[in-house]
Structure 1
């Protein structure tokens, strides 16, 4: 009888709380790292799995093996190398090479992955000196270095793609020790300057990724280079510095809150470590939302989708999508001031893709419209297909649930109702869920507490647990 009164009282509190709280639009109660489940947003809006698979195959066929002049970005060199071509600028970039490798490992294309890596290692990776282990960001089609400076995002994607390759295919199956190559890059990122030469890729004082590990570029950052989802995995898989990678991941999450605009959600291309917009002398306008900044939304949403450590990501995704929706979901521009003044009239597929990935952090009817827009967007072609094409493909993989953490163990056992994780389902779990509903920062096992498994912990789960307890 005592338990019945407790349950009834707590249920009344929970119902009253649920009336006061806004309707939940959170995408999930726990991340894919814990659950092993990757949302397929295309299926959520009514597409079939066969349709989704066909979309991804079409992107692969065109961007990797399509028409030489108008479609493809992947160009073989001899029998065992290849590069990703920036068509408009007539060069090869570390960004594109590492993105191409990531696409290949997610699509299970080991031959193409290896070809891109061999070209990157031979022509782009510095083997000695102050940049040892890092990659020149720009080369010509023959492999000649046009600019030896590393671009941090390229190196980050190289390391992550190699680790996924190691986990998915195993090392040395084709003569490449993927893990060894990744560890060389990770070590350089944090220890390049240990011998008194050069700069690290992560500023030691700020614990943030730098714009470039070179003089004059070590004391500021690029918000789109912050990849906390990757850092969390490096905290597990790096041969050393595991605790530091966890700290860097947490720092990036805090940084996102400072660098994104409180109304529009827009971030600048470049920023101070404080999050404030950063202008540079050699190129104008990077304190605004321009082409680099497109990727920040994806980085925030993917981190939430994988690890679920900061529900602020949902606030951010709603804020950003509300801004772009107000600009016209089919016509919004690609460049803005942070406060939302339009700087051009282009409507770019790459930005459409990144805004759709933001939907991984939310679950509103409006977010579904952004997913539908990506579905209806044609595969980029023509002169400017490089950047748009790479972001389009990465976006398609994320939104379809096909961008995965290879090597992560399957999800732990779920015990529905055991909210406090003590191995029992009892009134203490009922009280724990109550406290969570009153204050969502209360720590509980969200997967166990989600009694109806709808992706949110709310009064319905509270009522379901009451029934379980009353029926013993």
Structure 2
């Protein structure tokens, strides 16, 4: 039997639905994210570029990818378009990958690029942001642009070593043919992005193998009594080491690894135990030297603390406690804060 509704009731439902679409029925977590993004935008985004305030005002592909992702989540299409336009015009190479760093200079254009190499985390983040933007705003051009980046990554950055598929940190400088070893950065395996990319790639199997290799390496790459993974890892036939790498620490790169795992719903308990024990200290150092075991003399940043809170919230259902972004927050900490909130939002919590 068909149910009849009064005209006033139908009109009320339509108004409520329209209001929800405009954002009034959003969750408290989403409202907090949107508010925090406004602070992030005011502090770090200038005319389409994300400024790394903790690193002499440079911009890099990582930051552009973060800014684009945050814009999509906050439903800020105008800011997204500005960020993507600057990124495409200033950082994108002819092969569709991105120069990794822009150092402000008088010309304010591509001539400010000081290194022709790319950074695969930035490439991956930008492609993921474009895919999410295509879904959010129905713009298929974004999806096609993402696919071009993904194809370029497949051609230049997915590297086979024995039976593993690895993600080169950049196109140049990370494969040592003399020792048959490869240097990688496990925080560049942004697992939720890899899963998203695999769905639109013509080579989904390669991305799934990349995902699996990343998880396995995180489980194996455990250094010192704390059993933490390094920022930079050398993979060779004789095993894993931090020898002759960019740095020999667990720190500002590797701190993202557990967030990427939890974000993708990778819920093996042993995956998080070492991180959780590290965070349980009365005062947790920001970094740890993985050769001599010496911790930093300063504690985790607000961004690192946000990661710890988000991961334990997702893995162990602990309360979520994340500091607000303020003028005292630098670019990287603010980015970690929004990434942590975004991971929780994506999990539907």
- How far the C-alpha of 1:235 sits from its partner, in A, is 2.1
- How far the C-alpha of 1:323 sits from its partner, in A, is 2.1
State how far apart, in whole Å, the 1-side matches of 2:74 and 2:210 are: 29
- How far the C-alpha of 1:147 sits from its partner, in A, is 1.7
Unaligned 5+ runs, structure 1:
1-48, 66-71, 77-81, 192-199, 405-472
Residue 63 (1) aligns with residue 26 (2): no
**TM-score, structure 2 as length reference:** 0.80
Paired residues, number? 307
Residue 352 (1) aligns with residue 313 (2): no
Residue 105 (1) aligns with residue 76 (2): no
Residue 237 (1) aligns with residue 200 (2): yes
Once the two structures are superposed, residues 153-205 of structure 1 have per-residue CA deviations (whole angstroms, 9 ceiling, x without a partner) of 10010111111111221125xxxx101111111111111xxxxxxxx212133
State how far apart, in whole Å, the 2-side matches of 1:108 and 1:122 are: 23
RCO higher in structure (CA 8 A, sep ≥6): 1
- In structure 2, relative to structure 1, the CA distance for the partners of 1:291 and 1:125 (3 Å cut) is same
Larger Rg: 1
- CA-based RMSD: 2.4
Unaligned 5+ runs, structure 2:
1-25, 177-181
- How far the C-alpha of 1:210 sits from its partner, in A, is 1.1
Which residue is 1:295 aligned to?
Answer: 256
- Candidates 367, 391, 401, aligned match of 2:336: 391
1:275-424 matches, cutoff 5 A: 276-280=240-244, 283=246, 286-303=247-264, 305=265, 308=266, 311-312=267-268, 314-325=269-280, 327-328=281-282, 331-338=283-290, 341-359=294-312, 361-363=314-316, 367-368=318-319, 371-372=320-321, 374=322, 377-382=323-328, 385-399=330-344, 401-402=345-346
Residue 170 (1) aligns with residue 138 (2): yes
Which residue is 1:202 aligned to?
Answer: 158
Residue 222 (1) aligns with residue 185 (2): yes
Which residue is 1:86 aligned to?
Answer: 52
**TM-score, structure 1 as length reference:** 0.60
State how far apart, in whole Å, the 2-side matches of 1:389 and 1:337 are: 24
Runs of 4+ residues over 4 Å off in structure 1? none
CA contact 2:68–2:80 (8 Å) conserved in 1: yes
Once the two structures are superposed, residues 184-238 of structure 1 have per-residue CA deviations (whole angstroms, 9 ceiling, x without a partner) of 11111111xxxxxxxx212133311112210345721001011233222222211
Which residue is 2:229 aligned to?
Answer: 267
Once the two structures are superposed, residues 240-273 of structure 1 have per-residue CA deviations (whole angstroms, 9 ceiling, x without a partner) of 1112212221121111111144863521010023
- In structure 2, relative to structure 1, the CA distance for the partners of 1:183 and 1:74 (3 Å cut) is same
